[in-house]
Amino acid sequence: MNDQLYFSAARRFITLFIGIILSFFMVESYAQNKFEYLYRKNLTYEQRVRLGEQHFEINGEYRGNGYKQFERWKYWSRRSLNERGMIIEADQIDREISAFQAKNSKNGTQNAISGNLVEMGPMSTTNTSTWSSHLGRLTSISVANGNHNHIIVSAPSGGVWKTTNNGGSWTPIFDQMNTLNVYATEISHANSQHYFVGTDGSGIFRSLDGGVSWSTTTGIDAGDRINTITMHPTTSTTLYATGEFSGKLYRSTNSGANWATVFTSSFRLYDLEFKPGDSNTIYVSGWGEIYISTDNGATWPTPVSAPFAGAEPIMMAVTPANTDYIYALAATGGGFHAVYRSTDSGASWFTRSNNSSGTNNILTYNQGQLGGQAPRDMDIEVSPTNSEEVHVAGVETWKSTNGGSSWAKSTDWTVTEDPLPFIHADIDQLTYVTVGNVHRLYAATDGGIFYSDNGAVNWVDITQGIGTRQFYRIGASKTDVDRVVGGSQDNGAGIIRGGVWYDWLGADGMETFVDKNNANIIYGTTQRGGLNRSNDGGNSRIALPKPPNENNGSWVTPFEQDPTSANVIYAGYKQLHRSADGGSTWQTISNFNLTGVGTDTTLSEVKIAPSDNNTIYACYSNRMFRTTDGGTNWTPLNFPIGFFQINFITVHPTISNRLIITLSGGDGGAKFLESNDGGNIWTNITGNLPNIGAQCAVYEADAMDGIYVGMNPGLYYKNNTSGGNWTNVGNNLPNVSVTELEIQQNTLYVGTYGRGLWKAPLGGVTNVCGDYVATGLPLQIPDNVPTGVTSTINVTATGSITDVNIKNLSGTHSYIGDLIFTLKSPAGTIVTLIDRDCNDARYQDFNVGLDDAAAGALPCPYVGGVTAKPVGNLSDFNGQSPTGEWVLTVSDNFEEDAGSLEGWTLEICVSGGGVPCPSTIAVNELAIASGTYQAGVQLTSSGTVPNGNNVFFRAGNNVELQPNFAVQSTAIFEARIGGCQ
């Protein structure tokens, strides 16, 4: 999860139940003053919680009334508190990250991640036994003027994504900004390469090159959420933005570079519309009121509020089908209040429908229930060709064909509902975009982006390729490489196996893990401790019973597998329970005294020591206990400093009394405490980490005592060579919150809240390189045959590719400007190396090297013996396995030519594996290349190399040859043995 998202989650929830909290108070002005106090920065997390809990004690806890969002907000917000119990604000996170980057280099610590992190998705999913899953939450959609193919979308913790082929493929374009928490987007109607992005707490950003680069802008209040950016219909240099928290309308008159406040409303602002055909008339909606300017924003008379008595947030819609029409959708208490319509540009208003009967709540799951999730899930749109056709979005979508007088549900949130079409629940935005004769209605939902070209009768899903899943927890298989399960917000639990994602559990997926012995058995929880198991790799699921005398657990309920005993699992509710039969029956193994644990009387974290299943650590918020006899006796643990809660516990893989706890609200900014004696004595190891939310940690079982920690945002590392300092090692990782880390198969798996799952090979000996020389040459290059001729090299190296280069690519040809060279990896990736470079150039031979790091492209006129950049990127192979057949294809693409491929060498660098070498290496006066070489099976040497002409290695082991080690033919060479592969 992105760092700003925790805090935006707070604001999002508070926005969500503005009306709920105000219902406590008798006088509206007093209620608004109370709500303003709720937003003051000197209000603690606990004070905010008390206001919410008072409401739900009165109004109940049920689906669709905002309670789920309240619990979600509590979970995330409490994980990012300062020492005073205040939620860390977005502007503080920006400052902390910038300061850390200025003082510390990236990837400077020995033995950290080798190579870049690789994204594992999901980018697409297959539903198995879930009822409603998809990819991830989106908050806004912007379509280029006159081009349905060109779209950008935003995600509240996943940044900004772009497509230029109507969703055929998507590209993230905001990953390395200090915040990925985006709520508003706009593409200039005058120049489709000009983008504007509104964030939650970090202002407005602008790109003038289609998202390649971004610049900050000035004039937006720190901490404000920008929920609408709208360009003037005729003047592209003028833009407006609404600030939800500040209640301010902002305006820029210099193409978004600088912003100024136009006015400040009495409370909040939500929406902005221009009157179709009359750009002088602007409508802005707020809390129970609508502002109207008829002089192009020069003046703003007193807002219209009388018609909207009892209304809270208001969204609006206009239509070119009748330019005087304006619709207003109003909510109260998070649920549906009314739909109003003006037929005279806002001079007068009439109620079209309301929920006075209590049976017409079209903003939630059930029309007969109270509450809802507005303004989080709330929007209204009108057909551009029929002013009576109106669409409303809440949890689901509704349609009216009589100007809002009556409503029929037009979509359903479950995949099994018939005959209504499915789009994911919780719609943040509806927007009509007309191109030619196509009037397309888009929906941004908690699962992705959908559109309809026939008024919501049918919908098309174009979400595939957008990687914005918000993982709470992940679990990696101990037996199967890259089999990982994860639980996520709004989109349940999924598992990746064989490179394909399968979603097997709905709701909010939480703690998950893969059975240590059988990778087809997976476990997962939903919010508050719903337990589930799949025995077939996620194709189906079984609901497991909760332990006796237990109701709800924590929002993310502790759920763990025993590291030793088969079928033994643990679940933490008010007490800790153990099951010896995979969750069918339960035995209580604790009797914790809950006196003094405060209001949080359910366990929040449980960890079993991997090396000793009798040693278990369990905690309630800031109270922690330990057992060393499997739960018969428990010892309370004490701490040298105060803190609000323990976010995470990690235990060393081989030392049961060595552990780290991750803190929220620690005194003096403490984030991590480590103990080497089971929690009796603690050491603060926070060091130079930025003062932002600390989320998780994992030990690396190596001689260098490596530790990885996940922050909000970022991934950091230290070991016993780093002097206690931490280094940001998130190579290629977006600037997102890291929620869980797991190490299996010498791979670090990284679960994020907003950008899905990532992985990286671990360090140790990094970038082991080897050369592979093609055999079976020369080969004739057939004249004018586009399929060409192929040469293959079989690579036996293991690990994860970090670099690929081509050396000594040589041959003869009468017109090398007619040749195309491509390279195909064992994974099927094809990279174009040369594509008729120096076209129509007549030369008799070629001899080149190809390397992404080269200074430039192949020179023209052609010069032999150079190393040049390829046409494509050899880095496309990074992260793949090198093992298998590599295919070089050379084709002639014009007639009357002749030539042959004479030779080529493939250089591959890997991490987490070894580069096999011949059983002997001839010793001469040349330096032996640095690297780790895997020995042949027939070797018997102990590692001491005798005099002679050959160097011998012990079979099955790696030998690390030190850099620039020159060996004379008579020298005795002692080889240092590395880890076995």
pLDDT at site 846:
86
Q: Is the pLDDT of residue 484 over 80?
A: yes
Same domain, 899 and 924: no
Q: 339: which strand partners?
A: 329, 353
Q: What percent of the chain has pLDDT over 90?
A: 66
Same domain, 601 and 712: yes
Q: How confident is the model at residue 172 (pLDDT cuts 50, 70, 90)?
A: very high
For residue range 385-409, list pLDDT tens digits in order. Answer: 999 999 999 999 999 999 999 999 9
Which of 54-63, 155-164, 208-217, 654-663 is predicted least confidently? 54-63
Q: What is the mean pLDDT of residues 972-976?
A: 38
Same domain, 367 and 481: no
pLDDT at site 365:
84
Amino acid present at 635: T
Parent domain of 872? 768-911
Same domain, 492 and 478: yes
- From 468, 497, 518, give the residue that closes a domain: 468
Residue at 120 is within a domain: no
Residue at 435 is within a domain: no
Round the average pLDDT of the chain to a whole number and report it.
86
* Count of Cβ atoms closer than 10 Å to residue 57 Cβ: 9
- The helix or strand, by DSSP H or E, that contains position 102, with its residue range, turns out to be helix 90-103
Which range in 7-16, 74-83, 894-903, 944-953 is most confidently predicted, on average pLDDT?
74-83
pLDDT at site 864:
78
For 938-960, give the DSSP string. Answer: T-B--SEEPSSSEE--BTT-EEE
Residue at 449 is within a domain: no
Q: What is the mean pLDDT of residues 411-424?
A: 84
Same domain, 324 and 227: no
pLDDT at site 839:
67
Q: Is the pLDDT of residue 375 over 60?
A: yes
- From 729, 761, 793, give the residue that closes a domain: 761
Which range in 21-35, 108-122, 700-714 is most confidently predicted, on average pLDDT?
700-714
Same domain, 297 and 387: yes
pLDDT at site 574:
96
Task: Report the C-alpha gap between 463 and 482 in whole angstroms.
Answer: 24
Same domain, 568 and 679: yes
Same domain, 702 and 736: yes
Q: Is the pLDDT of residue 7 over 70?
A: no
Q: How confident is the model at residue 942 (pLDDT cuts 50, 70, 90)?
A: very low
The CATH number for 587's domain is 2.130.10.10
Q: Is the pLDDT of residue 458 over 90?
A: yes
- The helix or strand, by DSSP H or E, that contains position 90, with its residue range, turns out to be helix 90-103
Q: What is the mean pLDDT of residues 776-793?
A: 93
Which of 44-48, 51-55, 333-337, 649-653 is predicted least confidently? 51-55
Q: Is the pLDDT of residue 921 over 90?
A: no
Which of 111-120, 204-213, 581-590, 776-785 is predicted least confidently? 111-120
Q: What is the mean pLDDT of residues 164-191?
A: 97
Same domain, 921 and 897: no
For residue range 316-331, list pLDDT tens digits in order. Answer: 999 999 999 999 999 9
Q: What is the mean pLDDT of residues 797-811?
A: 85
What residues contact residue 661 under an 8 Å CB cut-off, 6+ apart? Answer: 619, 624, 646, 647, 648, 649, 672, 673
Q: Provide the phi-psi class of 358: left if phi over 0, else alpha when psi is between -120 and 50, else beta.
A: left
Same domain, 901 and 925: no
pLDDT at site 370:
79
Q: 699: which strand partners?
A: 707
Q: Is the pLDDT of residue 145 over 90?
A: yes
Residue at 446 is within a domain: no
Q: Total domain count for the chain? A: 6
Task: Report the C-alpha gap between 475 and 754 in whole angstroms.
Answer: 17
Amino acid present at 349: W
Same domain, 34 and 151: no
Residue at 962 is within a domain: yes
Query: Residues 144-154, buried b or exposed e (16+ Cβ, 10 A)?
Result: beeebebbbbb
Helix axes 90-103, 3-16, angle to 10 degrees: 180
pLDDT at site 939:
30
pLDDT at site 104:
74
**Residue whose pair of structure tokens reads 């975009």 in the numeric block:** 433
**Residue whose pair of structure tokens reads 């943040």 in the numeric block:** 428
pLDDT at site 844:
62
What residues contact residue 78 under an 8 Å CB cut-off, 6+ apart? Answer: 45, 644, 645, 664
Same domain, 395 and 504: no
What residues contact residue 281 under an 8 Å CB cut-off, 6+ apart? Answer: 274, 275, 292, 293, 294, 345
Q: What is the mean pLDDT of residues 560-565?
A: 94
The CATH number for 375's domain is 2.120.10.30
pLDDT at site 32:
35
Residue at 451 is within a domain: no
Task: Report the C-alpha gap between 902 and 322 in whole angstroms.
Answer: 73
Q: What is the mean pLDDT of residues 372-382?
A: 93
Higher per-residue confidence, 456 vs 7: 456
* C-alpha Rg value of the chain to the nearest Å: 31
Q: Is the pLDDT of residue 971 over 60?
A: no
Q: Is the pLDDT of residue 575 over 90?
A: yes
Higher per-residue confidence, 215 vs 981: 215
Q: Is the pLDDT of residue 71 over 70?
A: yes
Q: What is the mean pLDDT of residues 469-482?
A: 95
The token pair that represents 713 in the structure block? 């945002």
- From 468, 487, 516, give the residue that closes a domain: 468
pLDDT at site 417:
60
Q: What is the mean pLDDT of residues 886-900?
A: 88
pLDDT at site 651:
98
Q: Provide the phi-psi class of 879: left if phi over 0, else alpha when psi is between -120 and 50, else beta.
A: left
Q: What is the mean pLDDT of residues 915-933?
A: 43
Task: Report the C-alpha gap between 134 and 422 in whole angstroms.
Answer: 11
Q: Is the pLDDT of residue 967 over 80?
A: no
Q: What is the mean pLDDT of residues 358-379?
A: 89
pLDDT at site 388:
99
Residue at 99 is within a domain: no
Residue at 237 is within a domain: yes
Q: How confident is the model at residue 842 (pLDDT cuts 50, 70, 90)?
A: low
Q: Is the pLDDT of residue 471 over 90?
A: yes
Which of 21-30, 278-287, 502-511 is predicted least confidently? 21-30
Q: What is the mean pLDDT of residues 557-584?
A: 96
Higher per-residue confidence, 108 vs 150: 150
pLDDT at site 119:
97
